[in-house]
Amino acid sequence: MAQIIAFSIFKGGTGKTTSAVNTAAALAEQGQRVLLVDLDQQASATKYLGIEAEQVQAGIHHSFMHNTPLSLSIVKPPFGFDLIPSHELMSAVEAMLESGKDEDLLRQKLAPLEPEYDYILIDTPPGKAMLAFNALVAADRILIPVSAERMAIEGLADLIKHLHSVLWRRFDLAQDLRILFTMYKANTSHSPGIVKEARKIYRDNVLSVLIPESINFPRSFEKQQPITTFSPNHAGAQAYRELARWLMDAQN
Ligand SMILES: Nc1ncnc2c1ncn2[C@@H]1O[C@H](COP(=O)(O)OP(=O)(O)OP(=O)(O)O)[C@@H](O)[C@H]1O
Ligand SMILES: [Mg+2]
């Protein structure tokens, strides 16, 4: 059965999409069966992987709006893993979920896919909308990408508070939470200082893998290739491989 991992934080631009896409690619390199689900109406992960909305027969929004199986929305980008692409019409799904206050629909829709994969990774939209909450409820594990560029502790505290006070109570959950520092600048005192501060508060929940800051990430996005194929030997690619190995070790 697949382990379901949400890449989540309410704050925008922290590396959620970059981490979801490149972790998917790194796990696939290791022979794992991976499905990446793009829940964000901006469809950044979908664009990153070079998939156009027109290529998709039954978009993820159909699955939510007309209750068809999610499996009909799966496409196969040429990177060794499957993708459920997003679409701007996910805004209609968001409105529908909002009106029903439905936080559990994604979990139900993913259940039939779980035997098919080792990992189901979910790229979530920023903000506190229903699709983001759906990802948090569906997940077995929550990875929280946090930029090590600026003080990000508040964004972290906000998410963790919401999990404890609302979602975990309502759904009787207590998932594994890990903080993944991204955009890490090793040659400054600022980034290491931020990570040190976070370790004082969040201890072992801060992953030892640090994703370096690099222009190769926006470049790999422009070239529509995960960094593991765009620049396979780059430290950024190695860091996501390290994260993939950590996930595989943690599961065994
Ligand atoms: N390690 C990194 N080094 C340098 N740039 C990065 C790194 N990770 C991500 N970026 C860049 O930062 C920007 C934001 O990253 P990304 O889209 O992954 O964040 P996000 O959290 O998904 O954003 P949103 O909240 O809008 O969905 C992108 O331009 C991306 O290429
Ligand atoms: Mg994103």
Condensed to tens digits (0 to 9), the pLDDT of residues 47-94 reads 999 998 777 777 889 899 999 999 999 999 999 999 999 988 899 999
- What per-residue confidence (pLDDT) applies to 59? 82
What CATH number has the domain bearing residue 228?
Answer: 3.40.50.300
Span 203-240, pLDDT tens digits: 999 999 999 999 999 999 999 999 999 999 999 999 99
pTM of the model: 0.97
Q: pLDDT at position 150, please?
A: 66
Q: What is the pLDDT of residues 176-211, one digit of tens each?
A: 999 999 999 988 889 999 999 999 999 999 999 999
Cβ of residue 15 lying under 6 Å from some atom of ligand 1: yes
Beta bridge partners, 83, equal 36, 75
By residue count, the chain amounts to 252
> What's the total number of domains in the chain?
1
* Digit-coded pLDDT (tens) for 94-153: 999 999 989 999 999 999 999 999 999 999 999 999 999 999 999 999 999 999 976 677
Residue span of the structural domain in which 133 resides = 3-143+216-251
Does any domain span residue 129?
yes
Position 181 in a domain: no
The answer to whether residue 51 sits within a structural domain is yes
- Is 213 near ligand 1, meaning CB less than 6 Å away? yes
Separation of alpha carbons 120 and 107, rounded Å: 11
- Ligand 1, pocket-test mutation among 217, 234, 240, most atoms within 8 A of CB: 217
Tell me the CA–centroid distance for residue 171 and ligand 1, in Å: 30
Assess contact for 39 and 140: CB atoms under 8 A: no
- What's the confidence (pLDDT) of residue 57? 74
